[in-house]
Amino acid sequence: MVGDDIVLPCHLEPSVDASDMTVEWSRSDLDPRFVYLRRDGVELLTEQNPSYKRRTSLSINKLKCGDISLKLSKVKLSDAGAYRCLVPTLHTESVVEVAAGSVSSPDIKFSIVSNGVMLECKSDGWYPEPEVFWLDGEGNLLPAGPPETVRGPDDLYTVSSRVTIEKSNSFTCRVQQNNINQTRETRIHVPGDLFVVQSSSAVRIIICLAVCFTSVAAVVFVVWKWGQNKADKTEQEKAEIKTFHDVELQLLMEGQRDGKRTLTEEMKHVDMKMAKLDEAFERNEDELQHVQQVITTLTEQKKDLKNQREKLNSLLQEVNTQLKESEKKLNEEPKVDKERKKTKRIKTNEDLKSRKAKYEELLQNTEELLETTEDMIIKMTEGKGKLEKDKEQINKQLKETKKQREEIQKKLSESKKKEEKHDQLSKDAE
């Protein structure tokens, strides 16, 4: 298998010490042909095929016992072929055939269709090209459409197959490659409640709405949590600002006590201010990224809900038409088999009314979710705008502070030069 380490067997009989002999491992289809070459007890790397560099080796201890088997590490697909083991001085050779393969376990997905449930099996990373089979719970082959096979740039094959089923059972997707004697399979159990023919559309919509509701609820929680975190951060920022002002006041008092604030104190003050601004900028960036993710999720949710609303309106229109026809037939007197037909018409009418009520309830829930989603998009967009304004303000303050720092740094350099010059003049005077 690709990635494995393997040993290509080759032994001298009778066993003799081969540690000082010339040993060749080669493939006639390669140029240069040597996979491994050893002469006079030295491994010759310059004549080795580049694709095998640092992947082949012989055991020195085993060579003394006539074992010249080759270890090949991290097998590649290109390693497949016939390998010749040769000891020229003994005029003896052996050939080993290597078949390389790659496998992976298949994945199964399902979707509800008009005539049942469609199962799709997909497995990638195979070599050579495999076969795909569908089996039922008793191990019987199922009729399926022709498999789809795609070969990637890495020469590995991806295979997929679909089958439509009409009843509950356990189903197995089996992928196999007989040349390398490899088989992988995945089993899925399809429950009976997916096979509800009359209300299949409603089932899909209910599932979708459940997912939508869960997503919206999750986003609401995230938004609430973000608001809580933001409030906590606001309190934290207030405390930091207070600390910052306290330090600034302390530095100011020290400057007043000494008659003026020194350049070093000014630099200390500016460095502290820049550190706080950098922290605020990073928090702002994190919040902006978070808010944008939430807006993207909500926008996708809004699109899904609108599509769902259109489907429900279409279903509701269809069931209203059927209900009118049913009520019309209900008022007509059957000509034959009156009791049975009347009972059947009453049941059909009740089923249609039940479906109508279900669609109306789903439509109302969809409208409420859509309204909630739109409200949250508006709130998060407003929050994003405020964060962007804050970012501009922080950037402005950062630029001003950096400029101020550069000016202080320049003054410090000039002051240092003056002190050095003064010290030099003092030394010269002495």
Query: Is the per-residue pLDDT at 178 higher than 70?
Result: yes
In this structure, the chain runs to a length of 430
- Residue bearing the bigger pLDDT, 338 or 394: 394
Give burial (CB, 10 Å; 0-12/13-18/19+) of 301: buried
Beta strands across the sheet bearing 157-165: 107-113, 116-126, 157-165, 148-151
Which CATH number fits the domain that encloses residue 187?
A: 2.60.40.10
Query: Is the per-residue pLDDT at 399 higher than 80?
Result: yes
Work out the pLDDT band at 290, boundaries 50, 70, 90.
confident
Confidence (pLDDT) at 67: 95
Q: Rounded mean pLDDT of 24-35?
A: 94
Q: What is the number of domains present in the chain?
A: 3
Give the integer Cα–Cα distance in Å for 341 and 250: 96
Give residue-wise pLDDT tens across range 87-129.
998 888 999 999 999 998 899 988 877 667 889 999 999 999 9
Query: Is the per-residue pLDDT at 258 higher than 80?
Result: no
Q: Which domain holds residue 411?
A: 202-424
Q: Rounded mean pLDDT of 362-377?
A: 83
Query: Is the per-residue pLDDT at 37 higher than 50?
Result: yes
348 part of a folded domain: yes
Give the integer Cα–Cα distance in Å for 370 and 253: 59
366 part of a folded domain: yes
Is residue 223 located within the same domain as residue 315? yes
89 part of a folded domain: yes
Query: Is the per-residue pLDDT at 273 higher than 70?
Result: yes
Is residue 266 located within the same domain as residue 353? yes
81 part of a folded domain: yes
Q: Where a domain ends, among 195, 215, 242? A: 195
Q: Where a domain ends, among 67, 98, 129? A: 98
pTM of the model: 0.43
Give the integer Cα–Cα distance in Å for 317 and 286: 47
Confidence (pLDDT) at 261: 57
Q: Dihedral of the CA atoms 121, 124, 129, 132 (nearest 10)?
A: -10
> CA 289, 291, 297: angle at the middle one, nearest 5?
105
Give residue-wise pLDDT tens across range 191-229.
765 664 444 444 455 545 444 444 444 444 445 455 555
Confidence (pLDDT) at 305: 80
Is residue 141 located within the same domain as residue 258? no
Is residue 191 located within the same domain as residue 217? no
324 part of a folded domain: yes
375 part of a folded domain: yes
Is residue 137 located within the same domain as residue 247? no
Distances (CA, A) of 428 to 416, 418, 423: 18, 15, 9
